Amino acid sequence: MNIIGEINCFGLCLKLSELAPIVGLLIVISVALFAAGLMIKMPKHRVSMFVSAQIAAFLAIISTFYLMKCEGMLSIYLYFGYALVSSAIIFGALRFYDRVMIRRLNAKPIENVLSWIQEFTGGLANATVYYYDSAVPRAFAAGRSIFVSMGLLEILSDDELKAVLAHEAWHIRNNSRTPFLKQLAVMTFSSHKKDELEDLADIFAAEIAGSEALSSARRKVDKVFI
């Protein structure tokens, strides 16, 4: 049976089944989540949407396979192949995500312009610090790297910058405590909605650079995003 024939067979079986509305709903949910993932800008939410769409599509395929009670269908094998490849990409992205960001931002090693920053951060975590050209003051961790914008370097004092770097270094040191989807997302210092992990990162930053430097840095950075 070719793909077209299998699709027709799927449609006929679902039409005759009482569970067809459930399968149809799963398909609609999968498509909607995938579309939302393409439109949402926040990396954390985008990854969540794509993973949720994958799960909904998988449930729809399994439900259809159960209803049809047949084996050896090419479309089933194709989907399982797709699921394996896409899952490998999603779980493998964590290891290489920082490399993607380096290329995307055309980031350069910070030691080329401010060597003390790399030395300071290296003493806190096994991480490489990069800078990129942007006027927006921002710092974030991705993979085993920390990225800071030129705008951030311009508005923060050395002590404030140490607080930000210590905050991001904590995230890298404690990746095992970070939910997987958040590891894939960009962990940004300027996030307003702080959770327990962000609080712990701030506590660590205050111990390293002082609470006054941390508060001052957060006020300067958050002011841009209000």
pLDDT for 211 equals 93
Q: Is 22 or 207 the better-scoring residue by pLDDT?
A: 207
Angle, helices 43-68/20-39, rounded to nearest 10 degrees: 160
In the chain, what are the domains?
3-95 (no CATH), 106-225 (3.30.2010.10)
- pLDDT-derived band at 169 (thresholds 50, 70, 90) equals very high
pLDDT confidence band for 117 (50 / 70 / 90): very high
Q: Tell me how crowded residue 2 is: count the other CB atoms within 10 A of its CB.
A: 9
The identity of residue 187, as a single letter, is M
Query: Is the pLDDT at 193 greater than 60, yes or no?
Result: no
Give yes or no for a contact between 79 and 53, defined as CB atoms under 8 angstroms apart. no
3-state DSSP percent of the chain in helix, strand and coil, to 5: 70, 10, 20
Tokens 């949407």 sit at which residue? 49
Q: Nearest 10 degrees: CA dihedral of 113, 119, 124, 128?
A: 50
- Supply the pTM of this predicted model: 0.61
C-alpha to C-alpha distance for 148 and 161, rounded to whole angstroms: 10
